[in-house]
Amino acid sequence: MIRSGVAFAVCLIAPVALAQTTAQTAPQTDTSYIDSNGTAHITRVIPVPDTVSPEAQASLSRPASDAAHPESLAERRAHTDTWQARAGAASKAVYPVNIANDKIAGVPVLIVTPLTIGPGKSDRVLICVHGGGFNSDSGSLTESIPIANLTKTKVVSVLYRLAPEHPFPADVEDAVAVYKELLKTYKPQNIALYGTSAGAILTA
């Protein structure tokens, strides 16, 4: 049911992205319209927040084209993997951790451990299910390294099977398998699951 909703939202957004928006054609106010077919056409104008740092405001203010850039799945994965490795290294430089490849319940994982486990944290663990549209890995490092460092808690980053080679529910099965195995070592109340994007849907 959740995925149907996501697919519906994507269907509404994708056609708009085919034609590049310019300063002259961009809507200046929030709008919503439901046509005779029941399709919702929704625009939200979101200004750069003044509650973030000047550096963040400058980054968010960079012009970006919404023109479509079609790429194959192989190209998408190659680009994502390259970015993840680079961004992961940058994250680790700011948030030092130890990273080890392992398997839990037969599922590949990254064990991301802070240099110092926080007081009362040795019997706790976080499970990260990364983003990436279910078909690539855009967060196994970047979504776990800062969390492990800042919370001083071990993070298990699940490298779940990817679609389309492994369609739903393979990703859910892998996350559940890791969780069940960790239950043998950790109390349920001491395990937390989190993720962003596709990982947020897996978390739910």
**Per-residue pLDDT tens over the stretch 179-192:** 999 999 999 999 99
Count H helices and E strands in the chain, helices first. Answer: 6, 7
Claim to verify: residue 106 and residue 78 sit in the same structural domain: yes
Mind listing the pLDDT tens digit for each residue in 84-100?
999 999 999 999 999 99
Assess whether 9 and 95 both reside in one domain.
no
In this predicted structure, the answer to whether residue 49 has a pLDDT above a threshold of 60 is yes
Residues 177, 132 within the same domain: yes
Report the alpha-carbon distance of residue 57 to residue 48 in Å, rounded.
6
Q: What is the mean pLDDT of residues 157-170?
A: 97
34 Cβ neighbours under 8 A, 6+ residues apart:
40, 41
Q: Is residue 124 part of a domain?
A: yes
pTM of the complete model: 0.74
Q: With respect to residue 123, please indicate whether it lies within any of the assigned structural domains.
A: yes
Quick check: 3 pLDDT over 60?
no
Q: Are 85 and 183 members of one domain?
A: yes
CB 106 within 8 A of CB 135: no
Question: Does any domain span residue 66?
Answer: no
Higher local confidence (pLDDT), 117 or 18: 117
Asked if 48 and 98 sit in the same domain, the reply is no
Per-residue pLDDT band for 82 (boundaries 50, 70, 90) equals very high
